[in-house]
Amino acid sequence: MQILSRPKKNPAQFSAAVHPVLQDIFAARGVEHDTELKLPLADLLSPYAMLNMEQATDVLWQALCKQQHILIIADFDADGATSCTLAVLCLRAMGFARVNYLVPNRFEYGYGLTPEIVEVARSFDPDLIITVDNGIASHAGIKLARSLGIEVLVTDHHLPAITLPEASCILNPNQPDCAFPSKALAGVGVVFYLMTALRAHLRKEDWFVKQGLPEPRMSSYLDLVALGTVADVVPLDHNNRILVKHGLQLIRSGKCRPGILALLEAAGRNPQNCVASDLGFSAGPRLNAAGRLDDMAVGIECLLADDAYEARVLALQLDALNKDRRLIEQDMQTEALEHLKALSLDAEPRHSICLYDPAWHQGVIGILAARIKERLHRPVIIFADGGADADGKLLIKGSARSIQGIHIRDVLDTVATRNPQLLTKFGGHAMAAGLTIYESDLPAFSAALEQAIQEQSDPELFLRHNYTDGQLGHDCFSLDFATLLRDSGPWGQHFPEPVFDGEFTIIQKRVLGDKHLKMVLQMASGETLVDAIAFNVDQAVLHHNAERVQLLYKLDINEYRGNYTMQLVVEKLEFI
């Protein structure tokens, strides 16, 4: 196993109060001083650094004065659900009497404010549509809405095309000329900033006093912001780490939305010990399952629920959907591996992978793309049947996942620029994107994608590196140090959870569920014994008889019947 030390980004200066191991860990993640670790709410960036913020709050102020009907159009993922919930709760708390929401069914209407969903929205008779986590690419839908006399306020974080839609106002830190320093905000982060600025505007107008309304505490909504931010896998820059840290504190204190508590409990997670990975791998997938397989309204209603029992009932529905999603995903993975065999990648290496099967579930292709990307360390696009256009020509919808250093949305833009008729629509981020093409164009698209990635990418990017934060001494194999490490987060995208390496002797081992390996290990340089677990291990590894092993691992806190112990969670394993 080739292991590389995680490089230090900048010279760092820390006080003696910071554990020496943590000093190296933080330095490798670009932290230069103790002050960057405190993450107080006072250090959040100003809402008014975002282009059009004052205009956006004025749009909402005018709507409030006239008590206009507001319809929120949300995306059908966890970021969209939390964005929608946050907007609904805040607007109602601030005195908006008529606030409703609509989430396009991905199988009928696709993504964003399409003309088709605008036609559905007309039945609500809205005066103002607010898009959350979408809208920056909805040129035709916004044009139709405004022709019908419906104003549109876009809140989004996805990368825009060359031209912007003709909305009444656009809030997006990634739009041209926006000087907002954090380009990594999730959709829910953009909504949080808008609601914060709106509260300030209403305070200035003396609105809360005149109406006899309690002024909302914006920090009380950070549980939703944390969930949407982590689940959308946006980079945890300094600003996002502040948002997530304080959201996690709400959850741990039990003062969060009943729906978030219910989602964590359905996943078997203790909210009192919640960390960012619990949101990303437990709560987020259950919330996403509604949009993938059914109707995201179930997820939004779970987050909106004020009653714990109602939230629990809805969370169990989401948990059942997530179990169905897992079964579908397992079948699709098996079929995808067969497709990969047919590609003969060993004989003809590729820089990208495109796979299509008309039987694949459109709501699960994003997860499948992520799984194949992790296996092959290549950008992967998985396609599913997208129905037919007006002329009866078959469309297929793709979900793309990329690796660090290859900006997949920019690659798609290159392909579209060179081949104007090849993509009917696309959009997304650096690491994930969505697109639609004609089924007959798949070979041409696959070739164009491969060419674009090959031209734009350093070959070094396709080498899989196992980075480590070093080896731990005996004193770090303790519950106290594992707790310190956990509480030094939040860890996540672009601020990765520490991974360590070391050689151990296997004292005991047993197989759990025919796929997990539970071990008791002894350090190579002492008598210290530690528990370790490796999940989803190959059968050959499960039944290997070697006595020594080299590991890449994370420190974890295992809870069982109220007892807490330190254990290693194995990332990579190689017998010596």
- For the chain (length 576 residues), average pLDDT per consecutive 10? 78 88 94 92 97 98 97 95 98 97 82 92 97 95 97 96 94 97 97 98 97 97 98 95 98 97 96 95 95 91 97 97 95 95 82 96 95 95 94 95 93 95 89 94 97 92 91 92 95 95 93 91 83 89 85 92 91 90
DSSP letter for 420, please: T
Coil, strand or helix: which one is 511? Answer: strand
Residue 24 backbone dihedrals phi, psi, to 5 degrees: -65, -40
Tell me the one-letter amino acid at 311.
Answer: A
pLDDT of res. 330:
94
Q: Cis (ω within 30 of 0) for the bond into 379?
A: no
Give the per-residue pLDDT at 2.
Answer: 74
Residue 399 makes CB contacts below 8 A (sequence gap 6+) with 365, 366, 368, 369, 381, 382, 432, 433, 434
The token duo for 164 is 């912007």
Q: 312 with 262: CB under 8 angstroms? A: yes
Can you tell me which residue has the tokens 């698209």?
445
Neighbour count for residue 193 (Cβ, 10 Å): 29
Can you tell me which residue has the tokens 């696009």?
A: 381
Tokens 């079948």 correspond to 331
Q: Is 226 within 8 Å of 251 (Cβ atoms)?
A: yes
568 neighbors 555 (Cβ within 8 angstroms): yes
What pLDDT shows up at residue 402?
Answer: 95
- Whether the Cβ atoms of residue 243 and residue 44 lie closer than 8 Å to each other: yes
Q: CATH assignment of 344-462, given 1.20.1440.230, 1.10.357.10, 2.30.180.10, 3.10.310.30?
A: 3.10.310.30
User: Residue with structure tokens 């179930």?
Assistant: 298
Half-sphere exposure of 565 (CA within 13 A, CB side): 12
- Entry field: residues in the chain: 576
Domain boundaries, the chain: 44-318, 344-462, 467-575
pTM: 0.93
What is the CATH number that goes with domain 467-575?
2.40.50.460
Beta 380-388 vs 353-356: how paired, if at all? Answer: parallel
Kindly state the tokens that stand for 151: 């104003």
Architecture of domain 44-318 in this structure: Alpha-Beta Complex (3.90)
Q: What is the pLDDT of residue 416?
A: 95
